[in-house]
Amino acid sequence: MLSTDDDSSVTAVVVGFNHAHCLGRCFDSLMGQRQLSSLEVLYVDNASSDSSVAMTSWHPEIQVLRNSENLGFARAVNQALSRARGRYLALVNPDTALDPLTLRRLIDAIRARPAVALAAPRLLGEDGREQPSLSHYPTLAGQLRRLLGRRPDGATGWLVGAMLLAETELLRRMGGLDASYFVYGEDMDLSHRVQRRGLRLHLARDHHITHTGNPRWTWDRHARVYGAYLRFLGRHFPLQRWAVGLPVSALWILRGLRTGAGPAGLSRGLRRIWSKEPDLPPEDRP
**pLDDT band for position 3 (50/70/90)?**
very low
For residue 236, count other CB atoms closer than 10 A to its CB: 16
Q: 246 phi and psi, to 5 degrees? A: -65, -50
Mean pLDDT of 193-200: 96
**pLDDT value at position 221?**
84
Residue 213 gets the label, from left (phi > 0), alpha (psi -120 to 50) or beta, of left
Interval 105-128 mean pLDDT: 96
The length of the chain in residues reads: 286
Q: Could you report the per-residue pLDDT of 177-193, keeping only the tens digit for each? A: 999 999 999 999 999 99
pLDDT in tens, 77-88: 999 999 999 999
Contact between 15 and 76 (Cβ < 8 Å): yes
Q: What's the CA gap between 185 and 94, in Å, rounded? A: 17
CB atoms under 10 Å from CB of 129, counted, come to 8
* Cα end-to-end distance, the chain, whole Å: 49
Residue 106's SS3 state is helix
Give the separation between CA 244 and CA 238, rounded to whole angstroms: 10
Among the listed ranges 28-32, 95-99, 105-109, 249-253, which one has the minimum average pLDDT value? 249-253
Segment 29-46, tens digit of pLDDT: 999 999 999 999 999 999
Examine the pLDDT at 154 and tell me if it is beyond 70. Answer: yes
Angstrom distance (rounded) from CA 239 to CA 16 = 36
Distance, CA of 126 to CA of 137 (rounded, Å): 26
Least confident interval from 58-72, 89-103, 138-152, 256-270: 256-270
